[in-house]
A and B are shown apart, each in its own frame.
Chain A
């Protein structure tokens, strides 16, 4: 049975195709101003890779901040629900799933079946999401993907006001004028962000195993800072940015089975 999960995020739409609970392909596209079109592209790419057609798909489930704009969707699943499903599917011992995306961060507590028990979320402040790293990379004039490796070269963090993207930007500019080291500034950015995420997770309770997903999980600098702040090991799947889509695809599979009964 073929099912598809779509995660319509603020920056990118991700799609995952499952065949009998195993991932067969993935696709993605930039959300831009038309998430519906982006989702069609992402699903189209994934289908093409798997040599499948829309009509082969038994069930579609959408998730993500623009899930109500998803094409094809038979139903939707909350972002927290999708995180929990995907986290436990990949790491059966996972009980805390942290998802850090471009404009949002959340932590989900779940049981061994991958059912969400509780969650916390930050969607109001850019300082606790990927947008913060992007803004600081712009201010530092380094590429986004260079931020992580750069920060790992630092032994300490620069003193910056990293509680707010707007204040952080002006602080970074004046630090550059003072010729402060870029690695130390980058490290300060990740430390501050990890601080925020870690205090958010603490409100929920840190129950191992802890899994980190979302686009920001691909950033080695953030991962290093988060491990330091949380004081526990953090597991990261091979495709952390596709976790939401995987969770949706898993939900699609179980809903399709329910329907067959």
Chain B
């Protein structure tokens, strides 16, 4: 008997694409300084490999219940197709929520420092404010032209607006998470933000709006608006200085980014074309960690 290939009711709307990539046209030799950064977040684990401080390959995967395994999985994926082995690395830095559980790392560095550094690498020295929207927290980071952290603010007490919160909302509205941003913009007029942002109450809140005859798009727009307001407030409190960029999984949510731009009245630096050959803003932390790894290796060589 043949099993049905897909069961409609079991579509996982929260699931996003896990992938890996090797930058085309780059070669390495054993003389190069090969480093890696492994960013184990609460929702996704990212690993980036750098050759002499230049991005070479990366892997992005979902964090499982076991942090060391997730770290290994991400790094194995970044290694795939590169011909590199673990022993080729001069230095590895772990970062993120699970940074102390990265078994192959020589050192752990906070994700705040890594995101500022990584954003500086992706967008260049004009970056001064980084909004990092992670799976479990939201950080607004101020940095200088070298990517060093000047100050930061963080909200890690509430799921509203985080990647995890968005996953719950995607499931609730039965919209694939990667389309949530586009769909939230499909409204003729922007509705007012939802008053209650608690993810646990989102169901009740959404049901109430549906009863009022609101469309899915409108409900999503109101919710996304409320999330963008929260993030804009955090940026405001840390003190916005241009240029502004967004990192983390939610950087891919155009609904969030475009609303933050409207609320704050500034444009973010353009998103790299990560689907084709650009760097992925989701790996900013891992890239920053790989850069710290290079600096730490060079420092150790000098002494």
Shortest B158–chain A CB gap in Å is 5
A165:B200 contact, CB within 8 angstroms? yes
Establish whether residues B201 and A126, one from each chain, have CB atoms under 8 Å apart when the complex forms.
yes
Query: 8 Å CB contacts to B: which residues of A160-212?
Result: 163-167, 170, 174, 177
Q: Are B200 and A131 in contact (CB under 8 A)?
A: yes
Do B200 and A166 touch (CB < 8 A)?
yes
Residues of chain B in range 197-212 having any CB-CB distance to chain A below 8 Å: 197-201, 204
For chain B, residues 149 to 201, give those with C-beta under 8 angstroms from any C-beta of chain A: 157-159, 164-165, 168, 196-201
User: Which of chain B's residues 17-48 have a Cβ closer than 8 Å to chain A?
Assistant: none
The answer to whether B251 has its CB under 8 Å from any CB of chain A is no
Q: Is B65 an interface residue (CB 8 A)?
A: yes
CA distance A135 to B201 in the complex (A): 11
Q: Smallest Cβ distance from A119 to chain B, in angstroms?
A: 19
Residues of A within 8 A of B198 (CB): 124-126, 165
Interface size grouping (class) on chain B = 10 to 19
Query: Which of chain B's residues have a CB closer than 8 A to the CB of A174?
Result: 65
Q: Which of A132, A166, A177 is in CB contact (< 8 Å) with B199?
A: A166
CB neighbours (8 Å) of B65 from chain A are: 174, 177
Q: Does A103 lie at the interface of the complex (its beta carbon under 8 Å from any beta carbon of B)?
A: yes
Contact call A124/B199, Cβ cutoff below 8 A:
no
* B136 CB-CB contact with A under 8 Å: yes
B196 near A124 (CB under 8 angstroms)?
yes
Closest B residue to A132 by CB, please name it: B200
Complex CA distance for A13 and B70, rounded to whole angstroms: 48
Q: Roughly how many angstroms separate A164 CA and B159 CA in the complex, as a whole number? A: 7
User: CA–CA, A223 to B168, complex, Å?
Assistant: 31
Interface centre among A10, A127, A177 (most CB of B within 10 A): A127
The verdict on A118 contacting chain B, using a C-beta distance below 8 Å, is no
B196 touching A167, Cβ below 8 Å: no
Closest to A128 in B: B198
**Are B159 and A167 within 8 A (Cβ)?**
yes
Q: Which residue of B158, B164, B168, B200 is within 8 Å of A163 (Cβ)?
A: B158
Asked if A167 and B136 make an inter-chain contact with CB atoms under 8 angstroms apart, the answer reads yes
The answer to whether A167 and B164 have CB atoms under 8 Å apart is yes
In the complex, are the beta carbons of A124 and B136 less than 8 A apart?
Answer: no
Mask, B288-300, CB within 8 Å of A = 1, is 0000000000000
Contacts of B201 on A, CB cut-off 8 Å? 103, 126, 131
Q: Which residues of chain B come closer than 8 Å to A164, judged between CB atoms?
A: 157-159, 199-200
A167 to B4, CA, bound (A): 34
Residues of B within 8 A of A10 (CB): 204
Known contacts being A174-B65, A177-B65, is A163 close to B157, with CB within 8 Å? yes
Chain A residue at smallest Cβ distance from B158: A164
**B196–A135 CB distance below 8 A:** no
A18 to B: closest C-beta gap in Å: 32
Interface residue? A141 (CB, 8 A) = no
Given the complex of chains A and B, what is the CA–CA distance between A127 and B159 in angstroms? Answer: 11
Q: Which residues of B contact A126 (CB under 8 A)?
A: 198, 200-201
| Nearest-Cβ distance from residue A41 to partner chain B, whole angstroms | 21
Residue A123 interfacial (CB < 8 Å): yes
In this complex, what residue of A is CB-closest to B137? A167
Considering the chains assembled together, what is the distance between the CA atoms of A140 and B198 in angstroms?
21
Chain A residues near B159 (CB, 8 Å)?
A: 164-167
- Show the binding face of B for A, using Cβ within 8 Å: 65, 136, 157-159, 164-165, 168, 196-201, 204
9 A-B pairs with least C-beta separation? A126-B200, A166-B159, A165-B200, A163-B157, A166-B199, A164-B159, A125-B198, A126-B198, A164-B158
Given contacts A124-B196, A165-B198, A166-B200, 4 further A-B contacts (CB under 8 A): A125-B158, A125-B198, A131-B201, A177-B65
28 contacts between A and B (CB under 8 A): A10-B204, A103-B201, A103-B204, A123-B196, A124-B196, A124-B198, A126-B198, A126-B200, A126-B201, A127-B200, A131-B200, A132-B200, A163-B157, A163-B158, A164-B159, A164-B199, A165-B159, A165-B198, A165-B200, A166-B159, A166-B164, A166-B165, A166-B168, A166-B199, A166-B200, A167-B136, A167-B159, A174-B65
